[in-house]
Amino acid sequence: MKDITRIESLADLDQYIAAQGYSQCLILVDSNTREHCLPALVGSSDALNRSEVIEVEPGESSKSAEIVAGIWNAMIDLHADRQTCLICLGGGMITDLGGFIASTFKRGIPYIYVPTTLLAMVDAAIGGKTGINIGHYKNQAGTFARPEAIVQDPSWLSSLPHRELRSGFAEMIKHGLVADSAHLNELLRIETVTVENTTSYIRRSAEIKEAIVAQDPHETGVRKVLNFGHTAGHAFEALSHALNAPLLHGEAIAIGMHLALGLSVKHSGLAEKTAIEVMNYLTKHFAIDFTALRKQYPTGDLWSFMLADKKNHRGEVRFVLLKSLGTPVIDCAISMADFDAIYQSAR
């Protein structure tokens, strides 16, 4: 795999771009990052100050084939060539979408991620996967591709709403659960997530993901552990959008991790006491109300989505479970009845 350049500040990004000899830079934003983040980005850089800006609506609905086609067309109109660099300024939606567009436009042009959310910094911008949605099915189309550089500047986080910050925190907890119980225990000591008490853990959490990805860039084996909590989590997330009451990604993943911990006790030997401790933390911290969820999200609806998920085949639904904290087991086939039993008793 090619190396990705780590850039620590916007001033360093300006120097990096000046050294690359790009024919031009284009900046992909959503209307939120255009308002809140773009001024700081273009203010820091002569090159970016002259760049054309491509804007999409915020939210998952922009990760569509139609939006991709529209932006490809816009790039042709802007005379983008193979030496054009696409700067992706935003959260995971923008990095997933921009990475897909850049990795397929003229069969791949350079692109740089400037993640502006905690979730994107510790997860979405790392790992060399791009993705768009097919209908309500998340990331069902995409590429394995890596940006030239990632800008990891925590100063963006201070303007982030608390729910967004907590959403990123869920993925940090996941990294601890599947690979580093010490990291997990540090995080579980945090009572309320703030920029101050998470910043120092960002680098470690990103490193855990990078190390797993480096072992398995094309997701054929060990990397599947990163899907812990995502099999059910994606189903909740997708259905929440269909219900017009969208859960943030990390909020859905927190629910999915809770259920995967329950399944782990039953099916992969995780100690019950350990599981309950983490499950209680998740329930409290993410204010999960399983009684309400069971009414809004019937098992059958969730199961239909899970069957269509790209990690499953031959009609089974396969979960990542845990043997113990930090020790995952991939490809655990679970039946709808098994899942329902855990879901009905969750609290």
Give the footprint of a copy of itself on this chain (CB under 8 A): 23, 64-66, 68-69, 72-73, 76, 79, 81-83, 103-108, 129, 131, 134-135, 137, 140-144, 218-219, 307-308, 310-315
Q: Are 99 and 128 in contact (CB under 8 A)?
A: no
User: What is the spatial distance between Cα 328 and Cα 347, in angstroms, rounded to a whole number?
Assistant: 23
Q: How far is the CB of 83 from a copy of itself (least distance, A)?
A: 5
C-alpha closest to that of 88 among 124, 122, 61: 124
Catalytic site includes residue 219: yes
For a copy of itself, the closer CB: 300 or 315: 315
Residue type at position 198: T
What value does the CA radius of gyration of the chain take, rounded to a whole number of Å?
20
Catalytic residue among 63, 146, 234, 318: 234
Give the residue with the Cβ less far from a copy of itself, 138 or 166. 138
d(CA 86, CA 267): 45
At closest approach, how far in Å is the CB of 224 from a copy of itself?
A: 11
Q: Output the smallest distance, CB 315 to a copy of itself, in A.
A: 8
Q: Give CA 328 to chain center in angstroms.
A: 19
Residue 81 or 277 with smaller CB distance to a copy of itself: 81
Residue 79 is a catalytic residue = no
Nearer to a copy of itself, 77 or 196 (CB): 77
Neighbours of 129 (CB within 10 A): 22
Rounded Cα distance between 22 and 146, Å, is 17
Cβ 307 to a copy of itself shortest distance, Å: 7
Active site residues: 107, 129, 171, 209, 219, 223, 227, 230, 234, 249
